[in-house]
Amino acid sequence: MIMQHLVSMEHLSVEEIENLIQKAMQYKAGEAVPNLQGRYIANLFFENSTRTKCSFEMAEHRLNMKQLNFESSVSSVQKGESLYDTCRTLQSIGCDALVIRHEQNHYYEALLNMGIPIINAGDGSGQHPTQSLLDLMTIYETFGRFEGLKVVICGDIKNSRVARSNFHSLTALGANVVFSSPDVWKDDSMAADYVELDDVIDEVDIVMLLRVQHERHDGNAQGFEKADYHRQYGLTEARYAKLQEHAIVMHPAPVNRDVEIADALVEAPKSRIFEQMSNGVYIRMAVLAEILKG
């Protein structure tokens, strides 16, 4: 079955996830990289991005795709054009696929019947499927499996599309996922147990830290102190020392150093933060190739 879109991890089967990871690992090894010369794509980013936007661009270059330059700040969006009309315009002039990041949750629902593939690069606090896939690839490269792995996702659960995407995918793949979070950032819509980080730090295989998303807090972060957060929910050097020998540390970035993770640990031996970024290029190549192969 050919993928038509990628908008949510909930829409992917376990087999599709495994297929994308295997393709990405092949491309990383320099094997069977497809040539999508003659295919045109536009990257529509209505929220700031470094890693996701640049790695999509790198993936597209490596597949020999042509990119249409789109900048929301100088587009007709500033004249009141809707997202739908913007996308229909790009489809009409010949784009083969659209990569979109937007602050509205589920923005893609109005676009799926348009007849052009939509790849969700992040919707509000909803989903971030390619981030989840690159995280899964990084985990698989380390452990060779998902079944039975113990994962703690720590931080701003309520506002994190990464937490939502990874909870669904890791659980579907057989991992045991728990959350650790301040009460104000808990999200009871996901059926995960909440724990104190210190109670599980010496038991988990993976510590996945989340960025504190001040831009989505609507005043709920009043009184937030970096030092207090780091002491209660951050990966301190003392907590790092308690990790199992084989355990790894992950973070979707950008990293607030000495908040979610101690500055000295960002590139520590157990950290996979920059490996995640590298894998993002290959997983996005796999997504693009799978969607456009028809």
> DSSP string covering 260-276, please?
TB-GGGTTSTTB-HHHH
pLDDT of residue 220: 53
Q: How many domains does the chain have?
A: 2
Same structural domain for residues 195 and 268? Answer: yes
Sheet containing strand 176-180, edge to edge, reads: 176-180, 150-154, 206-209, 248-250
Give the pairing type, strands 206-209 and 176-180. Answer: unpaired
197-251 per-position pLDDT tens digit: 999 999 999 999 999 975 554 555 555 699 999 999 999 999 999 999 999 999 9
The tokens for 174 are: 């057989």
User: How far lies 75's CA from each of 69, 96, 110, 118, in Å?
Assistant: 10, 19, 20, 19
Q: Reply yes or no on whether the pLDDT at 294 is more than 70.
A: no
CA proximity to 110, closest of 82, 73, 91: 82
Tens-digit pLDDT profile for residues 148-177: 999 999 999 999 999 999 999 999 999 999
What is the extent of the structural domain holding 19?
A: 5-127+278-292
Residue numbers in the known binding site for carbamoyl phosphate are: 51-52, 101, 128, 131, 253-254
Averaged pLDDT, 8-16: 96
Q: What is the pLDDT of residues 99-114, one digit of tens each?
A: 999 999 999 999 999 9
What are the binding residues? 51-52, 79, 101, 128, 131, 161, 211, 253-254
Task: Characterize the bridge pairing of strands 206-209 and 150-154.
Answer: parallel
Which residues participate in the annotated binding site for L-aspartate? 79, 161, 211
Contacts of 101 (CB under 8 A, 6+ apart): 44, 45, 46, 47, 49, 52, 53, 120, 121, 122, 123
The predicted pLDDT at position 293 comes to 87
Q: Are residues 194 and 282 in the same domain?
A: no
**Are residue 9 and residue 104 in the same domain, yes or no?**
yes
Q: Is 133 helix (H, G, I), strand (E, B) or coil?
A: helix
Whole-model pTM: value is 0.94
